[in-house]
């Protein structure tokens, strides 16, 4: 009886093995790639990493930081919005500074009243002294004059304190430093911000409360040439560059802007906070026109190839 079970299980195992052989022997066609991998279009081209930036006259994005600390009360902009220079971006809670300004105003009023009293007292003593020197002593007249000078200095000090607090009150409104587009908002209503920015719970660091870029019509690409390839780089007047967008069959010709003539340590474009390689790079800046059909955003990593005309 047991022998029959053994033969039955053996046959079942053989059938399973034959079925597995059949399944795994079926040819499977390789799936075509979603996009063609990036390749150097130039026979003697130089490869470099690049990062897309907004097209700024200064060559960098504008990181917005408040000059004072406080809680954000209003956010008057949206990401992707074009704002003119001087436009209000954030309004911070200024109640404490408003109270300080009111105190300074009251102190200025008290100092002005004390000045009026001191000046009147001096004027009376001066009139009596001019009428008859025996009525008022010279020391008493000098003391009254000095008291009026001290009161005048106190008024000037109170006025300066009021003006300083008034200027400080204006800093609770954060305005756009130049014309541009809002690329990122990192602070919302209720966020506590400081001149160091706003705390980011994901990265554990401080970020600017907003990042502004240039016009949407054109964008820039910052390219980093490895130091060992700098000698092979063609002169700027004979330089041709092409950008390849990762994940898409898109190649964009680039317009050379300038070289940043300072070789710096390589940075980690993936936003790593520690770099353990000793490589130095030469930054180059290019420009290209935006195409609504192929959206490209600041911060996007691209491959750049450079050759001589």
pLDDT in tens, 156-211: 999 999 999 888 889 999 999 888 889 889 999 999 999 999 998 888 889 999 99
| Domain 95-170, second-level architecture | Orthogonal Bundle (1.10)
pLDDT value of position 299: 84
Q: For position 35, what pLDDT does the model report?
A: 63
pLDDT of amino acid 214: 78
Looking at 1.10.150.130, 3.40.50.300, 2.40.30.170, 3.30.450.20, the CATH number of the domain 38-56+214-309 comes to: 2.40.30.170
pLDDT tens, residue by residue, 132-149: 777 778 888 888 889 989
**Rounded distance between C-alpha atoms, residue 128 and residue 134, angstroms:** 9
Average pLDDT over all residues of the chain = 84
Model confidence band, residue 2 (pLDDT cutoffs 50, 70, 90): low
Reported as a pLDDT band with limits 50, 70 and 90, residue 270 is: low
pLDDT of residue 191: 92
Q: Do domains 61-91+175-212 and 95-170 have the same CATH topology?
A: no
Phi, psi at 187, each rounded to 5°: -130, 140
Q: Please write the tens of the pLDDT for every residue from 217-257.
A: 788 888 888 888 888 888 888 888 888 887 777 888 898 88
- pLDDT-derived band at 49 (thresholds 50, 70, 90) equals confident
Pairwise pLDDT comparison (78 vs 31), residue with the higher score? 78
Domain boundaries, the chain: 38-56+214-309, 61-91+175-212, 95-170
pLDDT 10s digits, 85-130:
999 999 999 998 888 889 989 999 999 999 999 999 988 888 888 8
* Fold of domain 61-91+175-212: OB fold (Dihydrolipoamide Acetyltransferase, E2P) (2.40.50)
pTM of the model: 0.68
Between 54 and 309, residue with greater pLDDT: 54
Question: In the predicted model, is pLDDT for residue 58 greater than 80?
Answer: no
């Amino acid at each position: 009886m047991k022998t029959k079970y053994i033969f039955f299980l053996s046959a079942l195992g053989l059938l399973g093995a034959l079925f597995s052989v059949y399944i795994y022997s079926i040819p499977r066609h390789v799936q075509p790639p979603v996009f063609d991998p990036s390749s150097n279009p130039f026979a003697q081209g130089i490869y470099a990493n690049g990062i897309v930036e907004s097209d700024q006259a200064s060559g960098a994005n504008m990181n917005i930081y408040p000059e004072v600390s406080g809680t954000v009360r209003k956010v008057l902009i949206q990401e992707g919005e074009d704002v003119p220079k001087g436009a209000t971006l954030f309004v911070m809670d200024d109640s404490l500074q408003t109270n300080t300004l009111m105190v300074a105003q009251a102190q200025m009023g008290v100092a002005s009243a004390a000045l009026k009293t001191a000046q009147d007292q001096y004027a009376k003593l001066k009139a009596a002294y001019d009428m008859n020197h025996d009525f008022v002593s010279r020391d008493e007249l000098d003391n009254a004059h000095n008291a009026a000078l001290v009161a005048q200095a106190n008024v000037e000090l109170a006025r300066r304190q009021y003006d300083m607090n008034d200027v400080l009150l204006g800093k609770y409104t954060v305005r756009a430093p130049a014309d541009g587009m809002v690329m990122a908002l990192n602070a919302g209503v209720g966020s506590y911000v400081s001149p160091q920015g706003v705390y980011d719970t994901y990265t554990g660091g401080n970020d600017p409360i907003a990042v502004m870029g240039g016009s949407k019509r054109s964008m820039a690409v910052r390219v980093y040439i490895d130091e060992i390839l700098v000698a092979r780089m063609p002169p700027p007047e004979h330089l041709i560059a092409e950008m390849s967008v990762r994940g898409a069959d898109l190649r964009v010709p680039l317009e050379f802007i300038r070289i940043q003539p300072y070789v710096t340590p390589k940075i980690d474009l993936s936003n790593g906070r520690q770099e353990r390689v000793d490589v130095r790079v030469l930054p180059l800046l290019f420009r290209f026109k935006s195409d609504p059909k192929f959206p490209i955003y600041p911060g996007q990593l691209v491959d750049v190839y450079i050759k001589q005309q």
